[in-house]
């Protein structure tokens, strides 16, 4: 099995790339979805987050108030590191378990979407790393379209490696500025190379 790590800056096209890869027959797991699963009510991580940040991070129904947590951690690197120490080991355990299942099923190509792949020292787990990227202007436009303020955008971008550093540390770079068709064609070319 060829295992791909898919990464890139926030708003640069990871979800689109994951959807395209899945449509090309690649098994995909997205760690953003795993991150949501590990903080569901009843999960130990949710209790640890409440203990670390206070009960205001929980809504009346007991679910995590993600925006409240984001405001806390993206404004304070120490708090962000506390949150990452709670979440990252659990998320990694889940995707590593999924990879083991894929290996047992003898999948041909599989991919794990990890925004902080380089930052969490996960590169050695993968055969190849694909980084999706776009211009800073397009990134900002995409994040503004999510309703984020310039401050929120700046905080989230600064919490990751710069895009150029991610690109330089990856095996393949997929440029997501052009159309979805061009985006797909780049991914297809990478897959052809890998499948030989």
Domain boundaries, the chain: 2-191
- Which CATH architecture does the domain made up of 2-191 adopt? 3-Layer(aba) Sandwich (3.40)
With a cut of 90, say whether residue 19 has pLDDT above it.
yes
Give the Cα separation of 43 and 95 in Å (integer): 17
DSSP 96-141: HHHHHHHHHTT-SEEEEE-TTTTTTT-GGG-SEEEEEE--HHHHHH
Q: What is the mean pLDDT of residues 48-70?
A: 96
Phi, psi values for residue 90, rounded to 5°: -70, -45
Percentage of the chain beyond pLDDT 90 is 98
DSSP 162-196: -HHHHHHTSSEEEE-SS-HHHHHHHHHHHHHHHH-
Confidence (pLDDT) at 196: 79
Give the dihedral sign, CA 40/157/129/138. Answer: positive
Cβ contact 3:27 at 8 Å:
no
This prediction's pTM: 0.94
Confidence (pLDDT) at 142: 96
Tens digit of pLDDT for each residue in 114-125?
A: 999 999 999 999
Confidence (pLDDT) at 92: 97
Residue linked to tokens 């898919």: 6
Tens digit of pLDDT for each residue in 130-189?
A: 999 999 999 999 999 999 999 999 999 999 999 999 999 999 999 999 899 999 999 999
Tens digit of pLDDT for each residue in 60-114?
A: 999 999 999 999 999 999 999 999 999 999 999 999 999 999 999 999 999 999 9
């Amino acid at each position: 099995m060829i295992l791909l790590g898919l990464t890139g800056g926030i708003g640069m096209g990871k979800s689109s790339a994951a959807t395209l890869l899945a449509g090309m027959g690649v098994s995909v797991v997205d760690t953003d979805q795993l991150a949501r699963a590990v903080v569901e009510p009843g999960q130990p991580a949710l209790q640890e987050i409440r203990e670390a940040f206070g009960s205001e991070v929980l809504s009346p129904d007991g679910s995590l108030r993600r925006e409240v947590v984001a405001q806390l951690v993206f404004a304070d690197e120490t708090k962000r590191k506390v949150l990452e120490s709670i979440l990252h080991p659990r998320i990694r355990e889940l995707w590593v378990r999924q990879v083991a299942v894929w290996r047992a099923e003898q999948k041909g190509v599989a991919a794990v979407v990890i925004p902080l792949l380089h930052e969490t020292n996960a590169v050695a787990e993968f055969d190849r790393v694909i980084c999706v990227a776009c211009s800073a202007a397009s990134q900002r436009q995409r994040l503004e379209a999510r309703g984020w303020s310039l401050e929120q955008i700046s905080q989230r971008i600064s919490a990751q490696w710069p895009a150029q550093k991610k690109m330089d540390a990856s095996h393949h770079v997929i440029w997501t500025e052009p159309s979805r068709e061009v985006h797909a064609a780049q991914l297809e070319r990478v897959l052809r190379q890998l499948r030989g």
